[in-house]
Amino acid sequence: MDLGTTNEEGGRPERAAEDGEPLLPASKPTGRARKRMRRHELAQRERARRGPAAPAEWDRALRRRFWRAVVAATVWFLVIPAAAVGITVLQNSSDWLLQNGSTARGEVVAVRTPVSGHGTPTIIVAYLAGDVYEQQEINRDSGAGYTVGQAVTVYYDPADPERARTDAEQNLSDGRMGVFVVPLVLVLIFLPFAVAYAVGWAGRRRAARRTGWAPVAAQVFDSSGGYHLLRLEFPGGAHLVARTVAAVRGRYSFLRKGPFEAWVAGEGRRLVLVLPSGPRGPTPYAVPLRIPRGSKWSGR
């Protein structure tokens, strides 16, 4: 006697149809079988959204981010010699008056000192440039004190008598000096961060090569601190919390449109998340992440 076929999912035998008897439909999976089917469908859907594993392509994405960071740090660094050259040119222009300018006897007719302490102290000096009476405001670069009626020696440019200085005061223009001094100050502040950013990308790329990549579902759950906190869900049920790393507040705001199916790699507190596509096109996009203190990840 034929006992019929076996339902692989439910595990129960089904009686085969005999001659003249309608075939009975297979029973629907229940319990654990249904859960296994559901997990299998979800896994297939996640793999389709995440895309196939492509370590070589992701390594190129990390390499692009690294070299962009290197170029940015290099540009910041080049501001230092550019600002130094500009300041030197201004100082040489003032020194040129001492060596090649015309000389005149001048008299201090006013002394100006900012009351609030903001601004540059100056003196107003009157002198004869040939047959023309001139009065020029000269910056007190040396910090020396002056009184009205005090005699000073003025050096001026015969072709431009308004360009003048004294023995002690270079009279460097605040506006021209600011063009070079302000960028120099900004470089001294931001260059260390730019260098650290490039070094961080290099470390993340090396770590990704060592540890390999793991599939993950990423979802932003908090953006109140200027960066984005993400919950990383792994296929086995484990999860991890990490935040974005950026020099500009609010960067990677497109992550709030998630969840995203992606890949993650790294070790310690430094991770990198690679999305199948970024905000600028359908090419892999790498996002640097950092795990909060007290936690770490050792790869998959």
pLDDT digits (tens, 9 = 90+) for 101-127: 899 999 999 998 887 767 788 989 999
Q: Which residues are CB-neighbours of 245 under 8 A, at least 6 positions away?
A: 197, 200, 227, 288, 289, 290
The vertex-159 CA angle with 154 and 164, nearest 5°, equals 25
Query: Residue 1's pLDDT is what?
Result: 40
Residue keyed to tokens 């993340």:
204
Give the pLDDT score at 267: 86
CB of 232 closer than 8 Å to CB of 217: yes
Question: What's the rounded Cα separation, in Å, for the pair 240 and 218?
Answer: 10
What DSSP designation does 257 have? Answer: G
CB count within 10 Å of CB 259 equals 15
> For 247-298, what is each residue's pLDDT tens digit?
777 788 888 887 888 889 988 888 999 988 877 777 888 899 988 876 656 5
pTM higher than 0.75 for the full model? no
187 token code pair = 């470089």
pLDDT band of 168, cuts 50, 70, 90: confident
Which residues are within 8 A (CB) of 126 and not within 5 positions of it... i.e. 6 or more apart? 106, 107, 109, 133, 134, 135
Cβ(254)–Cβ(275) under 8 Å?
Answer: no
CA 111, CA 146: separation in Å to the nearest integer?
7
Report whether 146 contacts 113 (CB < 8 A). no
Supply the DSSP symbol for 255. Answer: G
Percent share of the chain, pLDDT over 70: 80
Give the CA distances from residue 13 to residues 2, 6, 24, 85, 236, in Å, rounded to whole numbers and listed in that order. Answer: 11, 4, 12, 89, 33
pLDDT tens digits, 182-218: 999 999 999 999 999 899 889 989 988 888 888 888 8
- Given a cut of 70, whether residue 18 has pLDDT beyond it is no
* Predicted local confidence at residue 72, as pLDDT: 92
Q: Which residues contact 132 (CB under 8 A, 6 or more apart)?
A: 161
Task: Provide the 8-state DSSP code for 114.
Answer: -
